[in-house]
Amino acid sequence: MVHEKILVLDFGGQYNQLIARKVREQGVYCDLLPYNQSVDQIREYDPIGIIFTGGPNSVYETGAPRIDARIFTLGIPILGICYGCQLIAYTLGGRVTHADTREYGKRAIQYSKSLLFAGVCAENTCWMSHTDFVSSVPSGFCVTATTPTCPAAAFEDAARKIYGIQFHAEVHHTVEGEKILHNFLYGICGAKGDWTMSNFVTEQVERLRQKITGKKVLCAMSGGVDSAVAATLIHRAAGENLTCVFVDHGLLRKGEAEEVVSVFRDRLGMNLVKVDARERFLNRLQGVSEPEEKRKRIGEEFIKVFEAEAKKIGTVDYLVQGTIYPDVIESGKGASAVIKSHHNVGGLPSVVDFREIIEPLRDLFKDEVRKVGTELGLPDSVVQRQPFPGPGLAIRIMGEVTEEKLKTLRDADAILREEILKAGLNREIWQYFAVITSTSTVGVMGDARTYEPVIALRAVTSVDAMTADWAKIPYDVLETIANRIINEVEHANRIVYDITSKPPATIEWE
């Protein structure tokens, strides 16, 4: 099936992936590609609409991103957001002016009659993030929205279907922003909405069957959402010809290794090889405190273990990789086919003899991957699993990793997760976990002095993990968590809660 497509041209703004996600949430497929696509490339892509994203530049700066003016002669509807809006004005003869002060945050906005704002309240709130603004629109355009400080918060040439908005409709702070995007996609571009995860699963399984039927396929199963969904999708197409290798390095959360085996081997009937390498990894981490050295050693040891297991299996035709769309975007490679030829990924291809790599999720955002997992019948405990770093608990233990610290951390982390779930906060909070810090403090338990490492709790809300705010967990829930950890977990005498946002902090501590 050939899907209708929106082309999102990337000018380097902070919300660019969010724009693409919001388009797909409306049931329309889109790709986020670099802004310097040629007119011929755009014709070949054949989109039903084009969106110019925001960006950090001024249109007057030397070397600022530009567009070929011929794009406006293609007859394809165009929506410019923030910098994209200014670029439309600049390219077509309008005037862009540098403001004395940067306009950032919520602003009152007034909309005029426009197909773009159909059904949107005339007096509303939008989210601004800019310094330059359009002070004069190009000939043939009319202003369709204003704010007290922005004379052309939106403008359009409806006859040519060219629209510019200075505000960010993709950000949830813009009231009815999703309706504005919906109006562009369906009212202006004529979208039918043929992008669903159900369609994706059906089409992808059929495509994979044609490619890999009768071939040997190997997958490194981490237990994370991406590899779990990728393996399940491949299993639908390859059946018993898929072998999953799950390396238990002893750095997983409480009960996760057992759940991987239970779900994928026992419930789904996959050919899953579980390798118990806990002692090997602990030995490699002995005496190591520096975070990057931990990562390096864990990565090297994983490759060695995986290589040994792969040799037992012999030559395979395909290696499964859980690459998702943000990985593709951030690597700068743009859109690619579902299955791509042999290349080096994460160190594995250099130690495994195979013909090609299969990346069945490379066109999907994380939230879409979760939806595919649900379509495939995976349990919520897998599909909604918290983001988890590759090195596992090793980088949530400050300093040297020991079996004693791992047990303490697993137990504390399990209590945190249990109480968040019990309080019904698990879908509101992006990520939550415990950390064993490198600072020890004095405590008194049972009239005896204790001296144990401080345990920190971290919980954040986020849309895409690019930025994050600390989660406002109710005090009574925090109190229950802290009390349970102190009373039920060995080597715990002090609990602290991290209330730092990202930036300036990162989500993880190491």
Beta strands in 230-383 (DSSP E): 242-248, 271-276, 318-320, 339-341, 356-358
249 included as an active-site residue: no
Tokens at residue 162, please?
Answer: 């060219």
In which residue are the tokens 């859980």 written?
322
For 22, phi and psi rounded to 5 degrees? -65, -35
Which is catalytic among the residues 170, 176, 301, 368?
Answer: 170
Quick one: which H or E segment has residue 196? none
CA dist 113 and 136 (Å) reads: 19
Closest CA to 452 of 467, 462, 437, 463: 437
Distance (Å, rounded) from C-alpha 133 to C-alpha 89?
10
The secondary element (H helix, E strand) that includes residue 378 is none
The rounded distance, in Å, linking the Cα atoms of 163 and 464 is 27
Using the CB atoms, write b or e for 472-488: b if 16+ within 10 Å: ebeeebbebbbebbbee
189 assigned to active site: no
| 468 in Cβ contact with 502 (< 8 Å) | yes
In the 3-class helix/strand/coil scheme, how is 438-506 assigned residue by residue?
Answer: EEEEEEEECCEEEEEEEEEEEEEECCCCCCEEECCCCHHHHHHHHHHHHHHCCCCCCEEECCCCECCCC
Of the candidates 4, 30, 82, 256, the residue annotated as catalytic is 82
Catalytic annotation present for 98: no
Query: How far apart, in whole angstroms, are the C-alpha atoms of residue 288 and residue 146?
Result: 58
Q: Are 257 and 236 in contact (CB under 8 A)?
A: no
Of 4, 30, 168, 182, the catalytic one is 168
Q: Where in 337-419 does DSSP place strands (E)?
A: 339-341, 356-358
DSSP state of 397: B
First to last CA, the chain: 44
- Give the number of other Cβ atoms within 10 Å of residue 40's Cβ: 10
How far apart, in whole angstroms, are the C-alpha atoms of residue 409 and residue 400?
Answer: 13
Question: What are the catalytic residues?
Answer: 82, 168, 170
